[in-house]
Amino acid sequence: MEAISKRFFLYLSHNKAFDRMAKRWGSRFGANKIVGGETFSQAIPLITQLNEEGFQVTVDHLGEFVNSAELAKENVQQCIQSIHAIAYHQLDTEVSVKLTSLGLDISHDLIMEHMRLILSKAKESGITVTIDMEDSSRCHTILEVYKTLRREYDNLGTVVQSYLYRSEEDIDGLYEFAPYLRLVKGAYKESSKVAFPEKQRVDENLKRLIKKQLLNGHYTAIASHDEAMIDYTIGLVKEHNIPNDRFEFQMLYGMRNQLQSDLVKKGYTVRIYLPYGEDWYGYFMRRLAERPANVAFALKGIFSK
């Protein structure tokens, strides 16, 4: 049943008719419970509140798969405006970007130009930028872009997904860059030719990746709401005397709020992934696909007054 539910919501994530309807009735679909707003300005009070509660944040302007250079440029400017606002308001937040929203599928030169512009502006304000991982067909290209830019900028991280067979080798290939990595299970629909089809194998691989990255001595973000994975990480860092400033937990805004607060109270760094923007529908559906329990709050948002 869980597999059927995941396929269903991944199908909906690409349905343009539902996308149009959802954008019209966004708040009724519970969007305001997982998205910070349609603009970065709307998200600022929420980021401030999260910071005051002891959370760090990473923001993501929603959107991907852009095939227009003009739209890619607009997304770059949106990102830079957010960076300026973060610095001006002294917010404790990083920035996450999807390369397909900035021109990855248009040309290599364009994406490099755009990323260098973003990274330069972010570095001026001491802000870290993380390149989000996307579907497996773009994994190699994204990591190559990361490697090139990491030689020029130290305020850059990226993401590795444990459901891909290749991920352990990817971490080995990134070792020389002392990478800041966000480790996740993965949320895209993938073929069994490239990804583990069984949840147990995905979980086992994520544990291997967490251990490898932490024991390599590189900063690690464990992005999971899975308490078993969090407990595994806590046990691992205690066993190997890894200081708390070498890792953090990352969770999505609006999900597992009590768990987030409990970890902060215990002295762990927790970073909230806070998306914003009008193009929230596909993101929302992938979150529902990841965890069927998330459907409950969506239904509450639809039918509540």
For residues 147-159, give the mean pLDDT.
98
For residues 233-242, give the mean pLDDT.
98
Whether the per-residue pLDDT at 172 is higher than 60: the answer is: yes
| pLDDT for res 255 | 84
Domain topology for 43-279: TIM Barrel (3.20.20)
Q: Tell me the domain boundaries of the chain.
A: 1-13+27-34+285-305, 43-279
Whether the per-residue pLDDT at 305 is higher than 60: the answer is: no
| pLDDT for res 16 | 56
Q: Which of 3-12, 71-80, 218-227 has the lowest mean pLDDT?
A: 3-12
The answer to whether 269 and 244 have CB atoms below 8 angstroms apart is yes
| pLDDT for res 295 | 53
| pLDDT for res 62 | 87
Q: CA-CA distance, 80 to 303, in Å (whole number)?
A: 37
For residues 249-269, give the mean pLDDT.
94
- Residues 264, 201, 285, 63, Cα dihedral to 10°: 80
Query: pLDDT band at residue 76, thresholds of 50, 70 and 90?
Result: very high
| pLDDT for res 7 | 58
The two structure tokens encoding residue 155: 């305020």
Please list the active-site residues: 132, 182
Tell me the per-residue pLDDT of 29-70, one tens digit each, with 9 for 90 and over: 455 677 888 899 999 999 999 999 999 999 999 877 899 999
| pLDDT for res 279 | 72
